[in-house]
Every structure is written in C-alpha cells, then in structure tokens.
Structure 1
Amino acid sequence: MSRTAEEIGRTAVGPRPLPPLGEQRAAANLSSVDTVLDNGLRVIAVHLPTVPMVEVRLRIPFAGEDPMHAARAEVLAAAILTGTEKRDRVGVDTELALAGGELSAMVDPELLAIGGNALASGFETLLDVLADALTGAVYRDDEVAGERDRLVERITVARSQPNVIARQALQKHRYGDHPITREMPEAADVATVEPADVRALHAAAVLPRNSVLVVVGDIEPKRAVAGIDAALSGWKSDQAAAILPPLPELTPGDLLLVDRPGAVQSQFRLSAQSITRTDPRYPALQLANLAFGGFFSSRLVENIREDKGFTYHARSYPEFTPHGATLLIDTDTASKVTAAALLEIRYELGRLALSPPTESEVDTVRQYAIGSLVTSTSSQGGLASQLAALAVLGHGVDWLVQHPERLKAVTVDDVAAAAAEFFAPTRFTGVIVGDARELDSLRLLGGVRFP
C-alpha cells in the first residue's frame, strides 16, 4: 500500500524532524597546472572528469583609449569566428560540431572573452580552431558587413532599454570619460566600422601576453598545457595586451537624477568604493553584503519587495576591476513610490551599520555563500568561468579552494565591522533615472541633484 508524501513526512506525534544540513565542501585536491607559456600566455588547466567534456575560457585584456575602439571591438568579437585562410564560417562551425563543441566571443571595455567546450576527444580540434582564429582570422568583407549590420540593430534596441540607460548613466557619473564607461558603443559608430579597421585592431590587440586561458575538464592538466603550447605556438608578439587603466576612487555624494521623460519607473543605481578579494576584510564584507541585499532573504529584499511591495527585484553586489572594486545597489520602482523607496534604502543601509547582522543572520548567509560557491564550481563550465574571472584579477585555483575556510572563520563581530565600514549611507553615490516631473518629492529627502 502506497503512502502520500504527507504521510511519509509525519509520525504519530507530529512531523518528522528534518535532518541537519550536511557540511558543504567546495572542490578540493584538484589536480591542476598554473603556468605561463613562452609567448606570455598564462594557462590554468584543471582535471575535473565529471563528464567527458572540456571547457575553455580565454580572456584577453582589450582596453583602448580611442573613442572608436568600442565600436571596432564589438565588430571584431562578432566576426572573429567567421573564417580564416583555412576555414570559412561553415568550415569553422562544421569542425566544432564534429568535435561536439562550440566557441563564442564577446567583448567589454576590459576584456575580449572567447569561450566554449568540446568532447574531451575533440579537444585538439577545439584548440586548432581557436588557434586558427587567433592567428589567422581574415574578417572577410561580407562577413564583417553582415555582423556589423546585425550589431547596429541590436545596439539600437538595447540603448533604448531602461536598464542600459541606467547603467550608462551610472558609469558616466562614477568615472566620467574613462574608457570603462564605453560598455556599449553608439550604433552610428558601429555603422562606420570597415573590415580594414577590424583587421588592424586584431593585429594590434589580440595578443597572448597578459592574457589567460583556462581549461577545465576530463583531461590531464599537463597534457592539456602541452597541447595548448603546441597549438598556440604561432600566437606571439613582443607587445602585451592592453590592460584597462586604473579607475578613479569613487567620491561619495548626492545622487544624480537623470531625466527620462515619460518613464513610468525609476531605476536606482547606487555605488560605493569597496575592496578586492585579496583584502583580509573581504570575506566579512561578502557576508555583510549578502545580509544587506545579496540574496532573496536579505534585509533590502524583505523590506522594499516583500513588505512594501515597491519593486519586483532588489539586490546589492560587488563589482571587480583589475585594480579595485565597488559595491552596487540596484532596483527599479514605480515613479510614485520612488522617494519612499529611496528612504527605505537609506534606512536599511543605516540599520546594517547600527544594527548589524545577528549570529543567526551570519550563519544563514555563510551557508548561502559556501553553498553558492560549491554549486557554481561543481560543473566543468561553472568552475572554468569562476577561474577565468579570478585569473584576470591575479588569483588562481588556490584562492577558490581556500575561500570556504575563510568564510567559516568570519565572526559576527567581523561582519559588524565590515557593515559599519562599507555600508554607511554617506559612502554612496549614484543615479536615479526617471521622469523628473513625477519625482519632485525627492527634494524633500535631500541628497538628490536635479537636472
């Protein structure tokens, strides 16, 4: 006779007690190699044979001072895998498919990122196609024109989206004319990019020195490094890939109201200077951030989403650059509750400093932080992406493996100190993007600069 789930979960005296949570353990004792090849490329190879696949993540510093750099870089990323002297687009796609793999590319003001995967048996083919693109991409006129036209359409649509407008406004407010603000080029600039521009940029900027290649999968690390060294032996230059210049320190101050006539919602984007992962205070700051707005049960979400109903989403999170880090808070609200939402955000910032997370809160966010790390690194793709993000900041496998122990060592007092130091309302600046005619009540709160 079968029993229902409710019957299984209960006894004669009441519900069955839940078993205690098991200990969460991040990846440990990983077999890995972390080395620099003769061409200056750093390679991190990790053996993780969960499935017979291999993941690759290449990160090439790709900064540029030229105002047209962002437009040319976007076209380059879109077209770098469309053909070489040896393979046309169909040939690239066919060889990758036969290896059970794929490759894709994207770019931002900091990095050109190329990533993908293949069956372990197709690793050599994957490397051969990647090496061919790095050393022999030809950017045929018709391919560049097609990718450029598609980019113009996508960028035109994207730049009209509220979240993109808010992000661009925040970047300009934080960093002025620094190259990091050119996260999305103007469609008009992209439309003027010629194939010769892209070829010249590839020759000047797609370079191995300062770059990082991460390989994770069902392959012995030394064999992976040897294969990479052989495949990429022709990719070399005396020059180094261009690293983004240091960012200016954020200056706390009033929020800037960016007028978006007709908008029915307001976008909040707040930011404060923070610390890098290597700072001994970082694990405590990570937990303080989670308690404030870093996951669904955080104080900020409970207040302005669950209690007040001001928004569907709210979050706080760190953002890392090669030379530093910032904290960000973002949420979107209806125009009519914008001032009330700002009041509650400021209240929660002050409350975190004056009434820091309790022992129960710290235990909860600690479990969440360790569990999230375990989950995100349990797959080959997740581990490869995590390592690639860490590697461009100078870290490696050891940092990832040791981080759970750092989180376990954080005390309630450590979190309270981090909360008081980094979440004081007076540390923040940022933007509110919305219809200024509907937001006059913000003047009552002060600390908002109107256009």
Structure 2
Amino acid sequence: MTPDRTGRPPAGAPRPLVLPGFERRTLPNGLRVEYAGRRGVPEVSLRLVLESGAGVEPAARAGLAELTARLLTAGTPGRDAMDIARRLDRLGAGYRAAAGYSVSTVSMHFLSDMLEEALDFLADTVLDAEFPDGEVDRLRSERLDQIDRQRDDPATVANLATIAELFGDGLYGRPVGGTADTVSEIGRDAVRAFHETRYRPGGALIIVCGDIVPERLVAAVEARFGAWEGRAARVEPPPAPASREGGVVFIDRPGSPQSELRVAGVGVPYGTEDHHAIIVANAILGGLFNSRINLNLREEKGWTYGARSGFRFRRGAGPFIARTAVETSKTAPAFEEMLREIEGMRTGFVTADELSLARNALTLSLPLQFETAAQICGKVSRQRIFDLPDDYWETYRARIEAVTPDQVRAVCRKHLGRERLTLLAVGDAAEVGPSLDGFGAVDVRPNA
C-alpha cells in the first residue's frame, strides 16, 4: 500500500513523563538522603545541597560562598590540589561545586561500582577541606582577573548593571561571585569560618539517582557522614526591594558599534499562584525562538541575532529581563518595539496558535529533560531548594495546558506594567543619547 504523502501525518501521542520513585531517609545528625534506583546504565549521579549560599555571607565579602565552594578541592589532610585532581581522575568521576543565592551544591557523577570510593572523595572534600593559603590566594586572584575582564564584555556589563539598578544594595543586586572590592577582602580565615558555620548536616540534603542498591547506598552514606555534626539554618529570601518607578540608564561605552539592551523589572519568587501562567506568558513574549519579540526584532526587522525574555524564579522575587543587542542606530527603535510587544501582552489577547505553540514547547519536551540520572537529580534538587510540591513535575503538563488567554493577559498586566520597568543600554552615549529622550530622563553613567 502506497503511503499518502499529500499531507503531514498526524502527531503521535505525547510521551508520558515517567519519574523514578524517590525514597527518603534522615540520619540522626539531620542529614536528609533521597535516592531512586535507575537500572540499565551502570552510572550514579549525586547532588549534595547545602544551606550555604550567598544569602548568608557578609555583604562586605560578597563572593565568599562561591569561593568557598571552589576551594573544596584545593587541599585536604595529606593531599594538595594536584593530588586531589589525580585522585579524581583515577575515579573517573565528575565533580563540580558551586554556590547560588540560597544554596551551595556539590555534584558528582560516577560509575556505580565506584560508589564507596566516590563517597570517600565527597566526604574528604566537603568535611575535611583545609583551604591552604596559597590556593585561597590563587583562586581569589583568578576571580579578580575574571571580574576585570568582564568590563570588556558589554553583555555582562548590562546584566550586572541591570540587577544593581533593580535591587540596589540587596542580595540580588550583586553577582554571586562578588565584586572586585568584596572579593579582595576575602582571606583564608573568612573561608574557614564560613565553611565551619554553614557546611553542616542539619539542613543539608543528598540526592542520588542511578544504578544503586538502596541498602548499600544508605550504609555507605551513614559510614562517611554519620559523625558529621551541626546545623545550618535555612537561607531565607531577601526582602523585596521598595517599589520604584522604572527609569532609563545608559552605560557609556564610547565607540561601541552596537548597544546591549535590557528591559527589566522585579519579578516574582517560585511558588506564586500564577506561576504556570507566568511561564506560558513569557514563552509567548520572549521565551521561545517563535516568541513575539524575537520574531519582531530578528525575523521581521533583521536588527538582531536574537531577543529573549525570562523570569528568574528564586526563593525571593528575582528579576524579569528582556534582552537583545542591536546596532547603535537601532537602539531607540528596538526599545520601542520591545515595549510595544510587552504592552501588547498586557492589553490584547494571545492567539490560539501562540498558546498552542507555547504549551507544546513547554510540555512535549519535558520527558527529554529527565532522560539522564544527572538531569533527574537536578530537577529534584530544584524542587527541594524552592519548596515545590512533590508532584510539581508530574502535574506540570496539566497545569501548563490549563492556562487560558485571560490568565496570560492578567499576569502581564500584574507584573509588566511600564511603570515597573527599567530600560538599560550599554553603548555609545554620544551617538544614542538624544534618541532616548522620549522614554524619560536618561541617566548616563561611565563603564566603571
């Protein structure tokens, strides 16, 4: 029988999202352990989540949490950084430690028959890190060099200036990695004190997914972390910044051939009642390639390689940022188009095609985000960090598909009013400045 090639074949049924069931144990010292078996591939992914993010570091030493995490592999009793690197290489394991605003995480990936050896490595680096003076100096210098180089990257300048404008001196107004002034003040004593205070089992969580035998895993964790003592209180979100009228900020970069543009405002934390409607609204506005601002600025106008927007959900209200880069002469027109698209989301209704595209993009790809043990650990850790419901991912598709055009317009009206939005550009002020007068008073600043 000859197949009919005159039309597109019907789409198949969406792939179901099948998640492994996680079991939970809490050790006497307060360390929580969650684990799920996943047979078929002899691998294990592990994530240790600690209440030791930037939210509990002194503002004058911003970057302390991140530097502490990076220094975990810099030295342990009897081993220097090179010895530790060689040991990790022999394990054939992946290891990464980093800090965010709320928590620090240590992630490992290894073959399942190396479980005990990998947990030995994890325990040594997390519990017995020594933070040698030379390594503290080296990594602090690397971070300062990185900060210095960022001044030459207009996109980074725009991102940092945007959060500073929205959140001021608050936690979310500074980068997790700190600034040149604050990082310069971090020494070994500060790192050791932070580690001593915040790297504690009470409040910590180990998430494991992969080819495991549960009894073997629990016994191995208890043997290596059971004697760990102390408690670190939950890192609470910062207070929301005071309401303020959005302005226009221009970071002068003389001679720049293009401008980095940001339209930004204070968004919302995880867990608001309109959470899923916000996700759908942003997908239509600027979260997808076929979103309104990208189709406008890139596909129709040809002014940019891409334009995107996003809400950064955190324990506290993070930023909403729409961003793009255009040639200098298109700075003001691009701002006009971005604001027009935002206002259109607030005053009009999205089409059935737009809503269908957003729903499909957000839900049909969901199973692909749970294909590996590492992905599953990451998704589950996000649930725990931000106190999302246990069925958050299982009900995600239904909640996204239930969002209506009325709800999309309502969340845009609520969160994206022009009075709440700040316009920020990094570019040549002499060329662009006068063309921005129609947006309000322009605050021109040097690229410090």
Q: Taking structure 2 as the reference length, what is the TM-score of the superposition?
A: 0.88
Query: How far has the Cα of 1:291 moved from its partner?
Result: 0.6
**What is the rounded CA distance, in whole Å, between the counterparts of 2:201 and 2:260 in structure 1?**
39
Please give the secondary structure, in 1, of the residue aligned with 2:76.
coil
Please point out which of 158, 167, 171 is paired with 1:166.
158
- In 2, Cα distance between equivalents of 1:431 and 1:117: 40
Q: Is the 8 A contact 1:339 1:441 kept in 2?
A: no
Matched, 1:254 2:247: yes
- 2:224 pairs with 1:231: yes
Q: 1:222 to 1:87 in 2, by over 3 A?
A: same
CA gap 1:150/1:401 in 2 versus in 1, 3 angstroms: same
Match of 2:11 in 1: 20
Percentage identity across paired residues of the two chains: 27
Distance 1:242 1:274, change over 3 A: closer
After superposing the two structures, state which structure 1 stretch, 334-343 or 102-111, moved more: 102-111
Cα pair distance change 1:422/1:222, threshold 3 Å: farther
State the match for 1:55 in structure 2: 45
Runs of 5+ unmatched residues, structure 1: 1-9
Q: Show the counterpart of 1:6.
A: none
Match of 1:438 in 2: 431
Structure 1, 222-231 or 337-346: larger mean CA deviation = 222-231
CA deviations 1:30-81 (Å, max 9, x no partner) are 2202454433334332333352211122232322452442244343222211
The correspondence of residues 33-432 of structure 1 with structure 2, limited to 5 A, is 33-49=23-39, 51-60=41-50, 61-62=52-53, 63-183=55-175, 184-187=177-180, 189-191=182-184, 193-220=186-213, 224-240=217-233, 242-248=235-241, 251-395=244-388, 397-432=390-425
CA apart distance, 1:245: 2.9
**TM-fit CA distance, 1:93:** 3.0
Distance (Å, rounded) in 2 between the aligned partners of 1:43 and 1:369:
30
C-alpha offsets along residues 171-221 of structure 1, whole Å, 9 cap, x if unaligned?
A: 211111113333133346545543333222221232333333322222255
Specify the code of the residue in structure 2 equivalent to 1:173.
E
State the 1:297 CA deviation. Answer: 0.6
Letter of the 1:89 counterpart = A
Which amino acid is 1:254 matched to? G
Distance verdict in 2 for CA 1:261–1:78, change over 3 Å: same
Task: Confirm or deny: 8 A CA contact 2:61 2:185 kept in the other structure.
Answer: no
SS in 2 for 1:253: coil
Deviation, structure 1 residue 88: 3.3
Residue 121 of structure 2 aligns with an amino acid whose one-letter code is V
| Residues in 2 aligned to 1:186 and 1:274: alpha-carbon distance in whole angstroms | 24
1:32 paired with 2:22, answer: yes
Judged with a 3 Å threshold, the aligned counterparts in structure 2 of structure 1 residues 426 and 396 are, in CA distance, closer, same or farther, namely same
- What is the Cα deviation at residue 27 of structure 1? 2.7
Q: Tell me the distance in 1 between the aligned counterparts of 2:221 and 2:248.
A: 49
Shift of 1:349: 0.8
Moved more, 216-225 or 323-332: 216-225
Give a deviation string over 1:212-262, Cα, whole Å, max 9, x none: 332222225565445334322233214436445333255342232233333
8 Å Cα contact 1:55/1:380 also seen in 2: yes
- 2:377 aligned counterpart, secondary structure: helix
Call closer, same or farther: CA 1:292–1:210 in 2, change over 3 Å. Answer: same
Q: Distance in 2 between matches of 1:70 and 1:381?
A: 29
Q: Which amino acid aligns with 2:133?
A: D
- 1: CA distance, partners of 2:383 / 2:166: 24
Amino acid at match of 1:158: Q
C-alpha separation between the residues in 2 aligned to 1:100 and 1:37? Answer: 28
For 2:424 and 2:130, how far apart are their aligned partners in 1? 42
Normalised by the length of structure 1, the TM-score is 0.88
**DSSP-derived class of the 2:394 partner:** helix
Q: Which amino acid aligns with 1:23?
A: P
**Residue 277 of structure 2 contacts residue 400 of structure 2 at CA under 8 Å; is this kept in 1?**
yes
My pick for the range that moved more, 334-343 or 439-448, is 439-448
Instruction: Judge conservation of contact 1:294–1:315 (CA < 8 Å) in 2.
Output: yes
Distance, in Å, in 1 between the alignment partners of 2:296 and 2:22 is: 44
Structure 2: unaligned runs, 5 residues or longer: none
Do the aligned partners of 2:304 and 2:325 also contact (CA within 8 Å) in 1?
A: yes
- Using the TM superposition, give the Cα deviation of residue 444 of structure 1 relative to its aligned residue in structure 2, in angstroms: 4.0
- In the TM superposition, residue 398 of structure 1 has moved relative to its aligned partner by 2.1
- Structure 1 residues 114 and 250, CA gap change in structure 2 (3 angstroms): farther
